[in-house]
Amino acid sequence: MTDHRIAKFVKRGRDMVHSTNSKTMPPSARMDTILKQIDRVQKLAYLPQKDRDIGLKKLWAYYKNVQDFIDHKSYTQDESWGNAKKGHSDSPEPGVWSTKNNQEVDYQTYGEAFEDLIDATIMPDGRTKPKTSEY
């Protein structure tokens, strides 16, 4: 690989497989990061196709490596670790991937009021104008 821009994206993909991320980050987040790197390499239209193909081949190999880790018979968790999110400074568990950092709405949090909450978000508020589609 000759171009430093492609090498930067490939290095980021490699970090998702061969660094501490392989133990501290959910596989779904690692695969998502690798896919973003693949997308970035594909958008480098001004670079030679040969260089892009070499970078893409390596990135897809890293992606397959993470998939093989999930498919291994000893791996028993789901690939998102219960939809874990990385914690920020004001999160319940800052700096680590945990389900406690997930602030999304789920049925367990709101119980019987879950449907009312969803209906309230879908129903337009009488004080605001409904958004019109551009299509």
3-state SS, the chain, equals: CCCHHHHHHHHHHHHHHHCCHHHHCCHHHHHHHHHHHHHHHHCCCCCCHHHHHHHHHHHHHHHHHHHHHHHCCCCCCCCCCCCCEECCCCCCCCCCEEHHHCCCCCHHHHHHHHHHHHHHHHCCCCCCCCCCCCC
Assigned domain for 133 exists = no
What is the per-residue pLDDT for 18? Answer: 84
52 plus 108 within the same structural domain:
no
Closest CA to 14 of 57, 77, 46: 57
> Could you say which DSSP state residue 98 is in?
E
Q: Which residue has the higher pLDDT, 98 or 135?
A: 98
Q: Give the model's pLDDT for residue 76.
A: 63
CA nearest neighbour of 35 among 5, 65, 6, 60: 60
- Are 44 and 102 in the same domain? no
Question: Greater confidence, 27 or 123?
Answer: 27
Hey, what amino acid is at 3?
D
User: Does residue 128 form part of some domain?
Assistant: no
* Inter-residue contact 51 to 2 (CB < 8 Å): yes
User: How many domains does the chain contain in total?
Assistant: 2
User: What is the tens place of the pLDDT at every residue in 69-128?
Assistant: 878 766 666 666 666 677 766 666 666 766 666 666 555 666 667 677 666 666 666 665
Q: Residue 40 domain-assigned?
A: yes
pLDDT at 80: 66
Do 61 and 27 share a domain, yes or no?
Answer: yes
- Per the model's pLDDT, the better-predicted residue between 124 and 38 turns out to be 38
Which of these three, 36, 71, 106, is where a domain ends?
Answer: 71
Residue 77 in any domain: the answer is no
Tallying the residues shown for the chain, one arrives at 135
Q: Domain range for residue 94?
A: 85-122
Q: Taking the complete model, does pTM exceed 0.85, yes or no?
A: no
Q: Are residues 61 and 34 in the same domain?
A: yes
Residue 80 lies in a domain: no
State the chain's mean pLDDT as an integer: 77
| Same domain flag for 10 and 64 | yes
Q: Specify if 76 maps to a domain.
A: no
Whether 14 has a pLDDT exceeding 80, the answer reads yes
